[in-house]
Structures are given as C-alpha cells and as structure tokens.
C-alpha cells in the first residue's frame, strides 16, 4: 500500500499521542448523569464518511484529554511556587520510555535563553526516582556557522522539589545559547540518573612493598616542546592488572611503582558507552583517579598526570600516527579504543612510605538510557524584551548588543587580546539594571563564554541571571561594571 509523506507524518503524529486514560475516565464519571445515558444504535459508515468519523473521534479524544489534563500547570504553580512561574507558559506534554514518564509542565523562551519546568516519575512501581535523581536535557535546534557555541544548561543536577508521596521529582532547567532560541524546539533527554555519589577506596597495596617498574615513552608527548604538567615524557608500561589486587568496580590498577623517588600510580577504566541521544547506562562503580595524603595530613600535589585513550591492547596512538591518519581512520580507531589510561606521579619521601595514605577515587552511578524527546512550543516574547544595539567600549571589550529579559541581561561582543585576555576581563564587573526606584543587582559574576577567535580578537556572549523575574518595562539602562548603557 502506497502512503504519501503527508499521511506518514499524520500517522506518526497520532502514534505519539499519549492519553491518560485514568484521568479521562475520572473526568467522564464526574461529569456524566448516569440516569440519562442513551446508547446510540450502531450503524455502518463507508467511504469518506467513515474516514471523517474516525478523524473526528481522534480529534475529540485529544480534545477531551486536553480538558482532562487542564490544571496541571495551575496546580504546579500553586503548590510549588517556582521562582519564574509568572513568566512561563503552560505546555503540559509528556512522554514515557523505560517506564519513566517525563512531563514538560511549562516553558518559555526569551532571546538567547529558555526556561523549562519538568517532572520525572517512575511508572513501573520500582520507586527508582528519588531526591538524588538528575537529568541532562539538550535542545535540538538548527545550527549553522553562527551557532557554534552553547553556554550551557543550568539545573537538572538535583530536583527543584521531590514529592515523597508520589515519587515525583520536579526540575527547573535553563538553557543559554549563542543566538536566539526559537519558540519551537525539541527537548531531548538521553538518560535519567537515579543516583550518583563519590567513592573513596583505600589503595590495596602497602607503598613500601612497591619497587621499580618498566616505563615507555608517552605516546602523546612531543619532544622539545614545553608541555604542561599533565603530560609526562614517560609512563609505566600498562598491564591488565594481574599483578595487583582487584578493586571493587570498573577498572583496575594497571601499574604502580617507586621510580627516582616518585610514586607512579596508573589506572585503566572502560570508556563510557554513549547512545546517539547522549545518554548512557551506568550501574556500578568506576574508579578513575587517585589522591595522596602526606604524613602531616596534607594533600600531595602531583608532579604530572597523563590521560590517554587506549585500545584493547592498552596501546595509544602517537602524535605522528594521529597526524598520518585520515579523519575516517582516526574515528574508526577511537570507536574501538574503549579504555582510558590515567597515570599520576607524586613526589614522596621514600623513607616514610608507610606514613602516606593513597586513596583511589571514583563514582557510583545508577542510570538508564532512553529516548525522552518532545517538541515544545512557547509564545512570542519579543514584546517582553528591551534591547540596545549601540556599540559600547568597556576597556578592551566592545559590547555590540544587550538584551534585557525577565531572566536577566544577555550581552555579546568582542575583545582585544583574544580568549586569554577575555577570560579575566569580566571578573569583578557586576551587572545591574537601572529603574526609577534605583539600581537592581542582577548578578555579581556574569557567565561569559568565548567562541570565534579572529586574530587577536575573540567574540563572546555573556549572561547575568536574576534571582527573580525582572520587570522589563521599568528598566531604563544596564550597568556593567561602571559603564551605563541605555536600552530602548
């Protein structure tokens, strides 16, 4: 049977409709008069009449569901009183995967920023959602050469609120991007993390029992080049850990030795397996680092630390090998190189080895991968923003645009001296908005990210977020440091 593209899209849209039958049934029972039920006589419909009837019934079922779901946003605003509740709009859509239901309750976009309120609930009855649950959503929006940078995501690390009675975690997620976020976008969650905690395990070998061990050239080291401390010239020859006690969790001790009065500790850990949506499954312990405490109880600063991606034979590519490979060959090798090697070198007093405490560090994580994707549509908010497009010089920086939104202040421009100069430029330059009632501090330390670098110039975008919604209509100017910039 031939199906054209429009029909396929319609079928796909209908297939994604989620109907809360319990709520629907409850609403029907509450509103119908059971003493006046009239059952229509069944009859047959054929041709276009039948198609029209089916379409009407589908439309009716969606409309009834929407009516049944009405009030989710209002209840959330009333019960949780979120900080930015007055500037977001109800969305009320949800999706279910891996028995985890994710609801988008409300959202709104303002220029470079978007905010969203979500809830996460375990429908399986396993009570996997707790106050330790976290999510890391992404926005799927069109990108071109001008959309090369995203400042990041705020929120999601811990719930805004956890409802113990229902086992539901609520989140406030904020997005910051390099250009305006459209009013319609797709949110993608690739995994839900149920629990994450830091691990510290005692090193299972007495340091005084360690001796020397063979070394080899560090594959990533380039001779005659002044490398920072994280890249040593030599590393221990890695092993599969057969000479060391097994440690609890993923990874093993691939080498440990005292060489030239320094303590070398080398670990190998499996690479995290990521899905196409950026999610991953993790159920256990991963040991990834070490720390050393001196006899006086102070932490010992490493002399250097080396990180390598290695293959099943624990071999990493040299710089020359990488340069000689095509991009396709390198990506193929990287896909099969499923281990990370981490070697740390500490200065140590070899006469007091038993007085040092060496600790393996890592994480315990329990998460599940899935596909929680939804298209979110918000209203037009240009009328709720004020802007200035006049170029203003602040020291070596030139601010080319400023936008005031209910979230705070966004600004962008370029800076002489490149990224190194710009990294510290905005330190100490607080952002205020000027109103008839006085200046209001938006953020003491605005977040600033850099992208393109043109010679000695670097382009940047910054954001200062308010603790509560800004009354944009009262703002007459933005003050960055000691520079006042009028807004329209």
- pLDDT tens digits, residue range 186-222? 898 988 999 888 888 899 899 999 988 999 988 877 7
Confidence at residue 201, expressed as pLDDT on a 0 to 100 scale: 87
Residue 265 within any structural domain of the chain: yes
Average pLDDT, the chain: 78
Per-range mean pLDDT, top range of 5-19, 41-55, 98-112, 375-389: 98-112
Section 436-442 average pLDDT: 91
Strands (E) in 70-183, as ranges, are 89-97, 100-110, 113-122, 134-135, 138-140, 152-154, 161-163, 168-176
- Dihedral sign for Cα 357, 259, 319, 331, please: negative
Same domain for 167 and 96: yes
For the chain, how long is the longest CA-to-CA vector? 97
Same domain for 244 and 163: no
Same domain for 118 and 207: no
Q: Are strands 100-110 and 113-122 parallel, antiparallel or unpaired?
A: antiparallel
Q: What would the two tokens of residue 13 be? A: 């849209």
Confidence at residue 417, expressed as pLDDT on a 0 to 100 scale: 66
- What CATH number has the domain bearing residue 143? 2.60.40.1630
Same domain for 210 and 176: no
Confidence at residue 375, expressed as pLDDT on a 0 to 100 scale: 92
Same domain for 358 and 218: yes
Same domain for 210 and 97: no
Same domain for 115 and 89: yes
Question: For residue 102, is pLDDT > 90?
Answer: yes
Q: How confident is the model at residue 455 (pLDDT cuts 50, 70, 90)?
A: low
Neighbours of 59 (CB within 10 A): 10
CB distance 473 to 488 below 8 Å: no
Same domain for 398 and 299: no
Comparing 127-136, 265-274, 310-319, which segment has the lowest mean pLDDT? 265-274
Residue 15 within any structural domain of the chain: no
Residue 9 within any structural domain of the chain: no
- Dihedral sign for Cα 279, 280, 281, 286, please: negative
- What CATH number has the domain bearing residue 407? 2.60.40
CB distance 397 to 413 below 8 Å: yes
Residue 40 within any structural domain of the chain: no
Residue 24 within any structural domain of the chain: no
Residue 320 within any structural domain of the chain: yes
Same domain for 160 and 291: no
Of 452, 462, 442, give the one whose Cα is nearest residue 399. Answer: 462
- The range of the structural domain enclosing residue 284 comes to 199-363
Comparing 162-171, 289-298, 317-326, which segment has the lowest mean pLDDT? 317-326
- The pLDDT tens digits of the residues spanning 363-401 come to 888 888 899 999 999 888 888 888 887 888 877 788 888
CB distance 132 to 180 below 8 Å: no
Helix 47-69 with 21-31: angle, nearest 10 deg: 90
The backbone torsions φ and ψ at residue 347, rounded to the nearest 5 degrees and listed phi first, read -75, 140
Contacts of 299 (CB under 8 A, 6+ apart): 291, 292, 293
- The pLDDT tens digits of the residues spanning 327-344 come to 888 888 888 888 899 999
């Amino acid at each position: 049977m031939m199906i054209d593209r429009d029909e396929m899209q319609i079928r796909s849209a209908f297939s994604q409709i989620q109907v809360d039958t319990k709520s629907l049934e409850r609403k029907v029972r509450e509103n119908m008069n059971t003493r006046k039920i009239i059952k229509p006589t069944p009859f047959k419909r054929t041709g276009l009449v039948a198609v029209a009837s089916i379409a009407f019934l589908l439309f009716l079922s969606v409309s009834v569901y929407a009516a049944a779901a009405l009030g989710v946003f209002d209840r959330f605003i009333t019960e949780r009183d979120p900080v930015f509740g007055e500037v977001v709009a109800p969305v009320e859509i949800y999706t279910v995967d891996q028995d985890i239901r994710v609801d988008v309750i409300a959202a709104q976009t303002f220029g470079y920023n978007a905010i969203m309120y979500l809830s996460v609930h375990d429908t399986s009855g396993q009570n996997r959602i707790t106050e330790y649950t976290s999510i890391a959503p992404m926005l799927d929006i069109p990108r071109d050469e001008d959309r090369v940078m995203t400042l990041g995501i705020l929120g999601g690390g811990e719930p805004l609120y956890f409802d113990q009675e229902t086992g539901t975690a609520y989140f406030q997620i904020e997005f910051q991007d390099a250009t305006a976020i459209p009013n319609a976008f797709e949110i993608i969650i690739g995994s839900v993390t149920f629990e994450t905690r830091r691990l510290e395990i005692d090193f299972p070998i007495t340091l005084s029992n360690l001796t020397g061990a063979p070394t080899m050239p560090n594959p990533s080291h380039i001779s005659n080049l002044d490398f920072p401390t994280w890249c040593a010239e030599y590393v221990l020859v890695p092993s599969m850990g057969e000479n060391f006690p097994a440690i609890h969790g993923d990874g093993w001790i691939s080498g440990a030795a005292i060489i030239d009065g320094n303590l070398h500790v080398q670990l190998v850990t499996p690479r995290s397996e990521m899905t196409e949506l950026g999610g991953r499954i993790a159920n256990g312990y991963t040991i990834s680092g070490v720390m050393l405490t001196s006899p006086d109880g102070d932490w010992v600063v490493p002399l250097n630390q080396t990180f390598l991606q290695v293959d099943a034979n624990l071999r990493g590519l040299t710089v020359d090998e990488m340069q000689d490979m095509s991009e396709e060959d390198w990506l193929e090798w990287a896909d099969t190189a499923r281990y990370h090697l981490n070697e740390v070198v500490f200065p140590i007093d070899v006469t007091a080895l038993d007085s040092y405490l060496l600790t393996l560090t890592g994480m315990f994580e329990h998460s599940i991968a899935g596909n929680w994707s939804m298209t979110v549509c918000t209203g037009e908010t240009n009328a709720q923003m004020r802007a200035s497009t006049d170029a203003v010089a602040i020291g070596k920086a030139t601010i080319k645009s400023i936008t005031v939104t209910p979230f705070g202040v966004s600004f962008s421009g370029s800076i002489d001296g490149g990224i190194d100069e710009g990294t510290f430029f905005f330190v100490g330059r607080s952002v205020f908005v000027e109103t008839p009632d006085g200046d209001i501090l938006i953020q003491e330390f605005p977040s600033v990210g850099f992208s393109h670098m043109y010679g000695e110039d670097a382009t940047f975008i910054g954001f200062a977020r308010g603790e509560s919604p800004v009354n944009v209509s009262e703002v007459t100017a933005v003050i960055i440091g000691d520079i006042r910039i009028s807004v329209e």
